[in-house]
């Protein structure tokens, strides 16, 4: 593709199907080439245009020049002791890195995907926010996380593929809205990553305009909201976003989301000892959510050494769940996965040696 006499390359994996169709038409090719090429990339795991045998050979050569493919790069891989959780440190073309976490459940493989390098939201308990936001990820960089996990699973797990996604890694997905929506559309496309919308969860710290926009997108993904407190004083002390979108506004947006999409909203609640884990907090939470279509996911905090916050005793976690359940709120305690592999989001990236090397302890 010529722009003012200079060759400019195109990132094929960062295009939506419509954008890709436009790209091929601008080359004088039929629009259907877009779906052919994207299917090779996402469904058939082609690493080079040469593999795309239903694309004419001269076009393959031209594509290699104008839209060179960069395969997903895994800088480090870390497997939990139980072997059911694998964390990947993915290298990006500009030298940055993000994490993705693969979890093996009895219902299939689930991947936690990052949507930004770092995060601007600065939640007090989170490693990803410690260095601030570096940049948004492109849709292709999110797709690459899935492709890398699929490649790894193909080798280690008898060709299994990722069957559900949670956009819950580093970053706030609703502040990288357009790229995340492009990614979701490619993920749910049956000739793309082939993961149904009902198996995709978008997790937000509570960006109300984004929630309301997502509700009207026509994609029935599950909305997961990091609530973490039942009152504004407690929530503002650990989540800066609460200053912009206080709890009453947030819960109202979630009720709207459930009404518009028919999907139950999940509230994530990280239990932090002495901060938000008392029976009184549980009672306030139950009162606030009563009568709404929701589920509460209780997560005993995965401690991040830099933050100083600690996890409550398991009896306090159980007591918190019992208060919610006795008040008619569906609540579960999240199964522990990934202990011993820096499972709190952002920890592997932060512990990476400066200069880009993988940690010695991480078998790649
Ligand atoms: S918890 Fe999520 S929104 Fe908050 S700082 Fe971490 S990555 Fe960002």
- Cα(114) to ligand 1 centroid in Å equals 10
Q: From the CA of 168, give the closest atom in ligand 1.
A: 2
Six-digit token string for 32: 């259907």
pLDDT score at 124:
87
Residues 205-222 have a mean pLDDT of 96
pLDDT score at 127:
78
Instruction: Give the whole-angstrom CA distance, residue 218 versus residue 304.
Output: 37
pLDDT score at 335:
62
Residues 188-205 have a mean pLDDT of 96
Give the pLDDT band of residue 336 (cuts 50, 70, 90).
Answer: low
- Cα(205) to ligand 1 centroid in Å equals 7
How many CB atoms lie under 10 A from the CB of residue 193? 23
Q: From the CA of 171, give the closest atom in ligand 1.
A: 7
- Cα(232) to ligand 1 centroid in Å equals 18
Of 188, 174, 177, residue with least CA distance to 146: 188
Of 324, 338, 292, 332, residue with least CA distance to 78: 338
Of 101, 239, 254, residue with least CA distance to 167: 101
DSSP annotation of 313 reads P
Is pLDDT larger for residue 8 or for residue 312? 312
Helix (H, G, I), strand (E, B) or coil at 70: coil
CATH numbers and ranges of domains, the chain:
2-66 (1.10.150.530), 73-351 (3.20.20.70)
- Cα(126) to ligand 1 centroid in Å equals 6
Contacts of 338 (CB under 8 A, 6+ apart): 80, 85, 87, 101, 103
Q: From the CA of 119, give the closest atom in ligand 1.
A: 8
Which pTM value belongs to this model? 0.89
Write b or e for each residue in 87-105: b if 16 or more Cβ atoms lie within 10 A of its Cβ, otherwise e: bbbbbbeeebbbbbbbbbe
121-141 confidence digits (pLDDT tens): 998 888 777 889 999 999 999
The residue written with tokens 């059911």 in the block is: 84
Rg, the chain, Cα only: 21
DSSP annotation of 353 reads P
Instruction: Give the whole-angstrom CA distance, residue 196 versus residue 199.
Output: 5
Six-digit token string for 134: 């570096």
Q: Which of 101, 115, 120, 121 to mutate to test the pocket of ligand 1 (most atoms within 8 A of CB)?
A: 121
Q: Which of 250, 345, 348, 350 to mutate to test the pocket of ligand 1 (most atoms within 8 A of CB)?
A: 345
Residues 175-190 have a mean pLDDT of 97
Helix (H, G, I), strand (E, B) or coil at 60: helix
Of 344, 234, 218, 238, residue with least CA distance to 284: 234
Residues 54-60 have a mean pLDDT of 97
- Residues designated catalytic: 99, 345
Q: From the CA of 170, give the closest atom in ligand 1.
A: 7
Q: Ligand 1 pocket: which residues have CB below 6 Å? A: 119, 121-123, 126, 128-129, 170-172, 205, 226, 345
How many CB atoms lie under 10 A from the CB of residue 71? 12
- Cα(172) to ligand 1 centroid in Å equals 6
Residues 258-285 have a mean pLDDT of 96
Six-digit token string for 153: 């699973």
Strand 222-226 with 265-271, pairing: parallel
Nearest alpha carbon, ligand 1 atom 4: 123
Six-digit token string for 142: 């999110």
pLDDT score at 53:
97
Residues 173-201 have a mean pLDDT of 97
Residue 28 half-sphere exposure toward CB, CA atoms < 13 A: 3
Of 38-52, 311-325, 326-340, the poorest mean pLDDT is in 326-340
């Amino acid at each position: 593709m010529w722009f003012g006499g200079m060759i400019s390359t195109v990132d094929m994996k960062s295009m939506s199907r419509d954008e890709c169709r436009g790209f091929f038409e601008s080359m004088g090719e039929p629009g259907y080439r877009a779906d052919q090429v994207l299917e090779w990339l996402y469904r058939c795991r082609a690493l080079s245009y040469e593999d795309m045998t239903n694309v004419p050979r001269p076009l393959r050569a031209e594509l290699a020049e104008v839209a060179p493919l960069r395969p997903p790069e895994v800088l480090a891989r870390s497997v939990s002791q139980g072997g059911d959780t694998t964390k990947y440190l993915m290298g990006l073309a500009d030298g940055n890195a993000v994490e993705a976490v693969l979890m093996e459940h009895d219902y299939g493989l689930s991947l936690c995907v990052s949507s930004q390098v770092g995060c601007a939201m600065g939640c007090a308990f989170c490693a990803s926010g410690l260095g601030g936001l570096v940049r948004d990820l492109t849709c292709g960089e999110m797709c690459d996380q899935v492709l890398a996990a699929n490649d790894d699973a193909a080798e280690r797990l008898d060709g299994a593929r990722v069957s559900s996604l949670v956009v819950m890694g580093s970053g706030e997905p609703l502040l990288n809205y357009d790229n995340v929506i492009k990614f979701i559309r490619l993920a749910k496309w049956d000739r793309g990553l082939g993961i149904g919308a009902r198996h995709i969860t978008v997790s937000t710290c509570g960006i109300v305009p984004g929630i309301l926009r997502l509700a009207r997108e026509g994609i029935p993904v599950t909305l997961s909201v990091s609530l973490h407190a039942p009152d504004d004083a407690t929530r503002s002390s650990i989540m800066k976003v609460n200053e912009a979108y206080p709890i009453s506004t947030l819960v109202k947006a979630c009720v709207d989301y459930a009404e518009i999409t028919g999907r139950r909203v999940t509230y994530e609640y990280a239990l932090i000892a002495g901060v938000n884990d008392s029976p009184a907090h549980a009672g306030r939470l139950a009162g606030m959510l009563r009568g709404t279509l929701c589920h509460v996911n209780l997560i005993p905090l995965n401690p991040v050494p830099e933050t100083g916050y600690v996890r409550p005793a398991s009896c306090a976690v159980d007591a918190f769940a019992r208060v919610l359940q006795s008040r008619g709120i569906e609540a579960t305690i999240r199964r522990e996965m990934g202990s011993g592999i820096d499972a709190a989001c952002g920890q592997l990236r932060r512990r990476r040696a400066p200069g880009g090397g993988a940690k010695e302890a991480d078998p790649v």
